[in-house]
Amino acid sequence: MRTARRQEFVATYRLPKGVGRNLQRKLGQSTDLGIAFQGLHQWLRLHVAAPGLLAMPSTAVDELWHDFILHTEEYQDFCRKAYGRTLHHSPEQSMETTALDALQGEGIGRTFAMACADGGIRLPQMLGLPILFQVDTALTMTDGQQWVLDCGHSDCSAISPTHCVRHQVRPFIPKHLPPQRDPMTGRWLLPQTQKFSMGEGNMSAGVGCGGAACGGHG
């Protein structure tokens, strides 16, 4: 299956030397960027099967992605082999209102659900955050996006840069997701509709990219 080959390619891809240099300088030479690179690989892997727009939930991963894009030849070759097209880096500020609303709603919901499936986190239990949503907190980034599963209140009390999955993401988690392969076991994950039927509603979630750039599929 083409998707399987592409996911395998992304999962095992070695990033060009120099990717992460700017983030390392920003956070200090003693900072371990391992979780950020894991997050970048997850972000890139999700786009292989993503049926629509994904929203970037990490400032650190976004910066690594931007570094990768600056290695123009390597990035173009990677995209051709991974997606059959170029995965563009589209700043939130350049989006029209309709596209931005979609990004902050269904985009972040799809990203969270796919990242959970990719990391072996079963919904709707939500016993943990996928790697992509942990990165900025783990790196204690002052300008990052800090995600929590639940703010602990019936009405959302999360104040930026903290974002609450229960209130800002859960209403937008899709009922159907594409098949994804677990990068650890190699098994294909075939999510069932009921696993992802986590809520209804059309609230305006002030998340998305938090000013960082986002990428979509399509």
pLDDT at 132 over 50: yes
What does the pLDDT look like over 48-59, one tens digit per residue?
A: 988 888 999 999
What does the pLDDT look like over 95-113, one tens digit per residue?
A: 556 665 666 778 899 999 9
Tokens 């920003």, residue located = 26
Q: Which range has the worst mean pLDDT, 82-86, 125-129, 150-154, 197-201?
A: 197-201
pLDDT at 27 over 90: yes
C-alpha 154/C-alpha 172 separation (Å) is 17
Q: What are the phi and psi torsion angles at 10 (to 5°)?
A: -65, -40
Q: Quote the pTM value.
A: 0.78
pLDDT at 155 (0 to 100)? 83
pLDDT at 69 (0 to 100)? 96
Query: What share of the chain has pLDDT > 90, as a percent?
Result: 45
pLDDT at 158 over 80: no
Contacts of 124-133 spanning 24+ positions with Cβ under 8 A? 124/195, 124/196, 124/197, 124/198, 126/165, 129/165, 130/42, 131/35, 131/38, 131/39, 131/42, 132/39, 132/42, 132/43, 132/46, 132/57, 132/58, 132/61, 133/57, 133/58, 133/165
pLDDT at 148 over 70: yes
pLDDT at 75 (0 to 100)? 97
C-alpha 24/C-alpha 62 separation (Å) is 14
* Of 31 and 189, more confident: 31
